Amino acid sequence: MSEQTPTPDPTETSESAGTTETVEPTAAPAPSPASIPTPAAIPSPSAIAARMASRPPAQPAAAPTPASESARFGRVEPDGTVFVTIEGEEREVGSYPGAEPEDALQYFARKFDELSGTADLIAARAEKPEVPAKELSDALKALKEHLEEGKVVGDVAALRSRVGALDAVVAERREHESAQRAAARAEAITTREALVAEAEQIAAQPEGSTQWKRSSERMRELLDAWKTHQRQGARIDKPTENALWQRFSHARNSFDKARKGHFATLEQSRGEAKATKERLVGEAERLSSSKDWASTARAFKDLMGQWRTAGRAARGDDDALWERFKSAQDSFFAAKDQVAAAEDEEFRGNLGVKEGLIAEAESLLPITDLEAAKAALRTIQDKWDRAGKVPRADIDRTEKALRRVESAVREAEDKKWKASNPEVAARANSMVTQLESSIASLTDDVAKARAKGNEKKVAELTAKIEAQQQWLDQAKAGLDEFGR
Q: What is the pLDDT of residues 272-287, one digit of tens each?
A: 898 998 999 999 999 8
Domain count, the chain: 5
Looking at 235, 260, 285, which one is the last position of a domain? 260
Domain residues for 285?
268-335
Establish if 21 belongs to a structural domain. no
Same domain, 145 and 211: no
Phi, psi dihedral angles at 321 (to 5 degrees): -65, -40
Is 362 among the domain residues? Answer: yes
Q: What per-residue confidence (pLDDT) applies to 252? A: 94
**Can you tell me the distance from the alpha carbon of 321 to that of 317, in angstroms, rounded to the nearest whole number?**
6
Domain boundary among 319, 335, 351: 335
Q: Are residues 356 and 326 in the same domain?
A: no
- Confidence at residue 424, expressed as pLDDT on a 0 to 100 scale: 64
Q: Tell me, yes or no, whether 289 lies in a domain.
A: yes
- 312 shares a domain with 354: no
415/428 same-domain check: no
209-237 pLDDT, tens digit each: 889 999 999 999 999 999 999 898 888 89
Model's pTM, two decimal places?
Answer: 0.43
Tens digits of residue pLDDT in 53-77: 454 554 555 556 688 888 899 999 8
Domain closes at, from 200, 231, 260: 260
296 with 369, same domain: the answer is no
On whether both 63 and 90 belong to a single domain, the answer is: yes
Residues 429 and 375 in one domain: no
| Same domain for 210 and 235 | yes
The answer to the question of residue 19 being in a domain is no
Residue 49 lies in a domain: yes
Q: Kindly give the parts of the chain with pLDDT less than 50.
A: 1-49, 51-53, 55, 58, 484
In a shared domain, residues 55 and 147: yes
* 456 and 428 within one domain: yes
- Residue at 1 is within a domain: no
* Pair 361, 411 in one domain: yes
Is residue 309 in a domain? yes
331 and 276, same structural domain? yes
Residue 483 has a pLDDT of 53
Domain contains 78:
yes
